[in-house]
Structures are given as C-alpha cells and as structure tokens.
Structure 1
Amino acid sequence: MFLLAAVSHAALSPQLVYWNSVLPNTPMPSAISDFNNPGRDTNVNVGHGGVNVNTGHKGKPWVVVTVPNRLSIVYAAAETQIHDDDPNVALFFLEKELRRDAKMNLYFTKTASGGAAFLTQKEADAIPFSSAKLPEILGHFSVKPGSAEAEAMKTTLQDCEEPAVRGERKYCATSLESMVEFSMSSLGTRDVAAVSTTVAKAVTPRQQYTVMEVKALAGDRLVACHPEAYPYAVFYCHATATSKAYRVRLVGTADGVVVEAVAVCHTDTSAWNPNHVAFKVLKVKPGSVPVCHFLPDDTVVWSRSGQGRAST
C-alpha cells in the first residue's frame, strides 16, 4: 500500500485561510479537513529545493462502505470482482429503496487520511504531474523506481490522464484551491456546498441500519472528488449532470451508531460496462434505472448551495 506524507501544522494555514475567504459560510467536510490536519508523525518540508518527503508506515486503510477502486467512476468492473458474500454487494441499491424507515445491511468504517496533506497551489504547480515526467517525479520524492509507492504514483497519473467517460468532465486536483475552483466552474456558480459521509465510531459492526432521514442535495449537477494515492493530497474529481446525491441519516440496529451518509444515484448508466457488478447485484440492465450507492467518508460531493429537500 502506498505510503503518504503529512505536512506540519504551520503549512496548514494557507488552505484554511483560502477556504475561509472563498467559502466563509460553508462548513468544511471532514473529507477535506482530514487532509488539512492529518495528525501523522511524518513530514513534508517545503523549501527552495522543492518537497522532501519523509514517509512512515501509515498506509490508507481500505473502506468497506465504498465501491472498490473508484468503481463508481471507472465503470469497468467485471462481475467477478465481487462475490455474493462480499459486503460490498449491499452497497448498490435502487433509488426507490432510499426512503425513511427502510432497512439496509451495511458495514461502515471510519477512514484516516493516510498521512496525506494538501500542498498550496503554488507548491503543487512547481512539481511535475505527468506520466511522461514520472522518473523526474520519483527522483523529486526519493521514491525507488519499481517500488509499490512508484507503481501507485504511476497508476494515479494514468487515471488522471484517461479521457472522461461520456457525459462527464474530469480533473485531478493537486491542491485544495484547484478542487474548489474546478467544482465552482463545473457547477456554474461560486455559491457551492461540500458534504461527505461521517461515521461516529472508528469501527462499527456489520449490521442492519434504519434510514431515519433522506434529503436531496440542491441542483441537478454534482462534482464528486475521490482521494488518490500520492505523496501529497490529490483528488480525482468528476462532474456530471446525470447523477443525484442525497444526505442520509442512518442508525445502526446493533450499537445505535449514527452515520450521516452521502448517497449518489447515477441516472444514466447506459455507458457503463454491461458486466458492472451493480447490474449483477440489482439484476437490471445498463440505462434502465438509476443505480445508487453510498460513498466513503474520504470522498467529497460538491453541489450548488441550498437547503436539501426532504424525501419520503
């Protein structure tokens, strides 16, 4: 697993100052604040010589309540990737199932930032971010070619360079500033809101949850940003007008844990791989009905600002 690095507390202030100046009335979701203050014992020292990364063994844990490896945006997962006894099978559901008092069997786990932290836009712009420059980038971060870290960086760069799927706009944000600006540009307004799933406990049992409240996010456009493995915080963002998002309050039957989850429903799946696991699980065909799933707590969903409307 790729080892990510953290920045010192002194380096956090530019991101926080930027957020408060651009989005003064918007609460910062934990999926972003975790990358502003990872709280790790590793350091990234930014100076005239660039960024010197000193990593520790602080890998990013895999999240069960997610679609593996950005399944929701790659759309190419074969049905063999998930077996019937895999807890991820329960993640996909139909939009009509998202209603108050509905019961869902889920397994939520609270994630950590893995030690990654945002660079400022100026710092990020000074470092190459391209597959063609991979040897230079590896040297910059003192990463050994062929190592697990190097392969993770290579994969991230390749993912970021793939063309967007039909009906979407994509961008890899290498700073908080670039994530915010991409989201505002894609949504057509600077009046935006950002949300992420929050889990009250670090570890919860696999259990049945009851839906207590469902609220649709405002607007018909969304931007979802997913963290990538890299020496500093990089988010793969994609904008679409063919998805809807909901804030869902869930309560666990076994331990009473409260989860404020974000669910996304893809309204046009006609371009997805017909062998996508969602179609196997839901027994539906591409493009026939919206396909929904919950997002992990390290993913940010941006929407136009406004009070979400309650759903029954």
Structure 2
Amino acid sequence: MEFHILPIFAFLSVVVVASHAALSPEAYWKSELPNTPMPKAVKNLLHNEWMEDKSTSVGVGKGGVGVSTGKKGKPVYVGVTPGPNPFIYGYAATEDQLHDNPNVALFFMEKDLKKGTKMTLHFPQSTTPATFLPRRVAEKIPFSSEKMPEIMNYFSVKPDSKEAEIMKNTVKECEEPGIKGEEKYCATSLESMVDFSTDKLGKNVQGVSTEVDRETRLQKYSIAGVEKMAGDKAVVCHKQNYAYAVFYCHKTQTTKAYVVSLVGADGTKAKAVAVCHTDTSAWNPKHLAFQVLKVKPGTVPVCHFLPEDHIVWVPK
C-alpha cells in the first residue's frame, strides 16, 4: 500500500501575539541545550517564518491535514499510514502491515548488528511532513479524546471523514497506558519534547536521527561500522500522523542505542540510528517485530532502525 498525500481544502488561521523568543522553538533549544547540536530530523521540522510572521494556517483536506505559515501559505500534509503504529509495542500487526508497510524492513536481531552484515532495508522519507508549532500555539489547541468534537470543529473536519479518523487514532494512541516498564508522553511541540527528554535523562543529552544520502528503494545495505551510544537508557521519539508535528516519546530501562554506518548496493551511504530492546516480554505477542523475525516476546533482544524523522535521546 502506498502512502497518500492529498490536497488541502480548508484553512483556519490562528493569530498569536507573543515575543520572538517565546515563538521560536529553535531559541528554546539553544537556551536549554546550548552545547547540543540540533539533529537533522528537528531542523527539517522548523519554520524560519515563526521569526517573521505572527500568523499560522492550519489546514485539513481529504485524507490529509497540515499546517502552513501565513507568510508563504504553502501547506504541508499528513499521509495515511496503513495499520497500527509499529513503534508502539502494545499493538498487534495487521495483515496489511506484514505485506505493505515499509517499516517491516527496519526490524532485526541484535546479533546481526556487526560489521559486514548485509540487510535489505528501506528508509522512506517522511509521509507526515507537518512542522512544529511553537508551544504557545500548540497549547491553545485541544489534544484529548474528550475534546474531539472541539478539535474537529477547530480544524473544520467532518467527524466521519478520513482525516478525522487519522487524528482520533493519534490522540487515542497518546492516551493509552504504556506497557510495563515504559514511561510515555506525546510531545505536541519541540519545547515539550526537550522538557520530557531532559527530565528523564538530565540536561547533558544529545538528540540523534537517521540520515541517508538520498531516498532509495528497498535494497541491500552492508554494515560498515557500529558505534554504541552512551548508557543503557534512552528516550525514543516517533513522529505521528497529525496536523502539526506530534511525537510519541517513550523511555524504558532496557534500551540500547547505536549509530550504524551503512553502504547501499547503489552506493548510498547512511548513518542510521538503531534501537535495541533487551526485554520485550511485555510487548504484544502479535507485534510486527515478532511476526517479521519469527521470535517470541522476551526471548531475544529485538532491534529496529529509526526512520529519518524519528529521534533518539541519549546521555552524552
């Protein structure tokens, strides 16, 4: 199944009056993490126009929702991702996911994480390129199942439409309890993601994302090098389908993170973030990883590469 990006039909303008610093997620990053480089996944979700223009347009269309700044008026969209989120470990995989989801190729076993291993992988570009809203804007917009009628009205979304279903699913995933040993939080702004990650790991942290030379099709990659990141704890933040950038962030004590140098059959080079979970006993037995790798919960460490628009936070 392909991802679908569809045109916007309705826009709603939100006028925000605030100071330059309060409106700039980038300024908040620099104030809280002055010695931490911003990963590419974060830079790609920033809008320089926040510094110049005080208006924001939030748009919704058939099968897609998006946000644009008022200055250029170019919206970005949410794509329709088939099946449950494969990075939420309490979910069972659907039949469609097993056959059509590009994330299937991202799961592997820790024993394969060594130089010379060949893997067939696909690093799809983001299908949800919606950008960060400044926290002061995001906090004015409801984000809860109880407020869904208000949210639908706010975005001029028909309650029985496909875009309404996408947004409801994202909010529902954010509200469900985490699995045993998991601390979870949905960040609706870059500022709130920084706060959650530094609260769990301290301020001496770094954020890292996967970077690939160029988008390619499914192909064989060879591991050229593996570097383990500091510590055995991490906060991993996964980009969600929503009108603006929302990240599902979670922390477990049984997580190891690596930066893996890869070289594709066509010469494409990648620095891919790999996350390995050493205790999967609380995961759904029908989770996508178990069906792909043919293993049972709690038996072996399960790893996955992160798509380019996801972020792992680790101590320095």
Q: Does 1:273 align with 2:251?
A: no
Q: Give structure 2 stretches of 5+ with no counterpart.
A: 65-75
Indicate if the aligned counterparts of 2:14 and 2:57 stay in contact, CA closer than 8 A: no
Match of 2:59 among 54, 58, 65: 54
1:91-110 alignment to 2 at 5 Å? 91-110=106-125
Match of 1:164 among 175, 178, 190: 178
Amino acid at match of 1:165: I
1:1-312 alignment to 2 at 5 Å? 14-37=24-47, 52-55=57-60, 58-60=76-78, 69-78=84-93, 80-83=95-98, 88-111=103-126, 113-114=128-129, 116-187=130-201, 189-201=202-214, 203-253=215-265, 255-305=266-316
Report the equivalent of 1:309: none
Indicate if the aligned counterparts of 2:83 and 2:93 stay in contact, CA closer than 8 A: no
For this pair of structures, how many residues does the alignment match? 289
Report the TM-score, using the length of structure 1 for normalisation: 0.82
Report the equivalent of 1:310: none
Runs of 4+ displaced beyond 4 Å: 1-8, 10-13, 55-58, 60-63, 81-89
Q: Distance in 2 between matches of 1:233 and 1:28?
A: 16
Report the equivalent of 2:70: none
The CA RMSD over aligned residues, in Å, is: 3.1
Percent identity, please: 51
Indicate if the aligned counterparts of 1:221 and 1:240 stay in contact, CA closer than 8 A: yes
Q: Give secondary structure in 2 for the equivalent of 1:74.
A: coil
Q: Distance in 2 between matches of 1:142 and 1:61?
A: 18
Quick one: structure 1 residues 80 and 33, their matched pair in 2 at CA, closer, same or farther if it must change by over 3 Å?
A: same
Indicate the larger mover: 94-103 or 273-282: 273-282
Indicate if the aligned counterparts of 2:84 and 2:94 stay in contact, CA closer than 8 A: no
Structure 1 position 246, deviation (Å): 0.7
Structure 1 position 54, deviation (Å): 3.5
Structure 1 position 31, deviation (Å): 1.6
Amino acid at match of 1:54: G
Report the TM-score, using the length of structure 2 for normalisation: 0.81
Quick one: structure 1 residues 46 and 127, their matched pair in 2 at CA, closer, same or farther if it must change by over 3 Å?
A: farther
Structure 1 position 222, deviation (Å): 0.9
Q: Distance in 2 between matches of 1:86 and 1:130?
A: 28
Q: Distance in 1 between matches of 2:136 and 2:104?
A: 42
Post-superposition CA distance 1:129-152 (Å, at most 9, x none): 111111111222222222222111
